[in-house]
Amino acid sequence: MVDEKKNSAIFTLPELPFADDALEPVISAKTLSFHHGKHHKAYVDNLNKLIEGTDLAGKSLEDIIKATAGKQDKAGIFNNAAQVWNHTFYWNSLKKDGGGEPPAELKKKIDGAFGSFDNFKKEFANAAVTQFGSGWAWLVTDGTALRIVKTGNAEVPFTDTGLKPLLTIDVWEHAYYLDFQNRRPDYANAVIDKLLNWDFALKNLG
């Protein structure tokens, strides 16, 4: 998920998979400049400082997350590593002119899990809106079934539950406040209707 230099502790900020203004008017170029260029970059920089000279240096991002999850003395490393992973996954969950119905294979699974695609959209938006404080809403696989889950702060679904993420929506305030202020429901619904990258979800499903 994140570019790494082999045999090095150094992680680098991944480039966005779209132009800065590609997600407008839902997510502005100004929001992306802060969210990606400041917040995401800070997590990368902090992680590099925290793991330098430790036994975690040189490990993959996923291995660092799993090794530090739930360990209070490693909370700083976990939070920054997980936020690097979460943000990279989030950027790939979005695309210009996204949204709409998913590919037939995935739509069949969604219909089976949630009753209909409209029900899925309502449940996904509800998860994003009702996550108290900062966090994430996720579409995941749980074995062969699809589920919607939410996580707080930097938490990721795969650390101790075996859930596999397909898509995510970032509901930290810095993800939407410049564009939507306190209207998190409008942000969540706009992302679902206009930006979700179903090709990325289908790739993760495989």
| Model confidence pLDDT, tens digit, residues 7-40 | 355 899 999 999 999 999 999 999 999 999 999 9
The verdict on 123 and 52 lying in the same domain is no
Tell me whether residue 51 is exposed, middle or buried, using C-beta atoms within 10 angstroms of its C-beta: 0 to 12, 13 to 18, 19 or more.
buried
The continuous run of DSSP H or E covering 200 comes out as: helix 198-205
Q: Which residues contact 82 (CB under 8 A, 6 or more apart)?
A: 65, 69, 154, 155, 156
The verdict on 109 and 75 lying in the same domain is no
The verdict on 88 and 109 lying in the same domain is no
Asked if residue 116 belongs to a domain, the reply is yes
Asked whether residue 206 carries a pLDDT value surpassing 90, the answer given is no
Asked if residue 19 belongs to a domain, the reply is no
The verdict on 199 and 112 lying in the same domain is yes
Do 14 and 3 meet the contact criterion of CB atoms below 8 Å apart?
yes
The verdict on 88 and 117 lying in the same domain is no
Asked if residue 20 belongs to a domain, the reply is no
Do 170 and 88 meet the contact criterion of CB atoms below 8 Å apart?
no
The verdict on 149 and 84 lying in the same domain is no
Q: Could you tell me the CATH number of the domain that includes residue 168?
A: 3.55.40.20
The verdict on 86 and 148 lying in the same domain is no
Enclosing domain of residue 141: 104-205
Confidence of residue 5 (pLDDT cuts 50, 70, 90): very low
Domain end among 92, 117, 135: 92
Q: Could you tell me the CATH number of the domain that includes residue 74?
A: 1.10.287.990
Q: What pLDDT sits at residue 39?
A: 97
The verdict on 120 and 64 lying in the same domain is no
The verdict on 77 and 121 lying in the same domain is no
* Separation in Å, CA 195 to CA 27, 73, 136, 154, 160: 9, 38, 16, 22, 29
Domains identified in the chain, total number: 2
Asked whether residue 45 carries a pLDDT value surpassing 90, the answer given is yes
Better-scored residue on pLDDT, 4 or 128: 128
- The reported pTM is 0.94
Do 106 and 205 meet the contact criterion of CB atoms below 8 Å apart?
yes
Confidence of residue 160 (pLDDT cuts 50, 70, 90): confident
Mean confidence (pLDDT) of the chain: 94
Q: What pLDDT sits at residue 69?
A: 96
The verdict on 51 and 138 lying in the same domain is no
Percentage of the chain modeled with pLDDT above 90: 92
- Mean pLDDT confidence for 118-137: 97
The verdict on 112 and 63 lying in the same domain is no
C-alpha closest to that of 184 among 149, 132, 145:
132
Percentage of the chain modeled with pLDDT above 70: 96
The verdict on 84 and 150 lying in the same domain is no
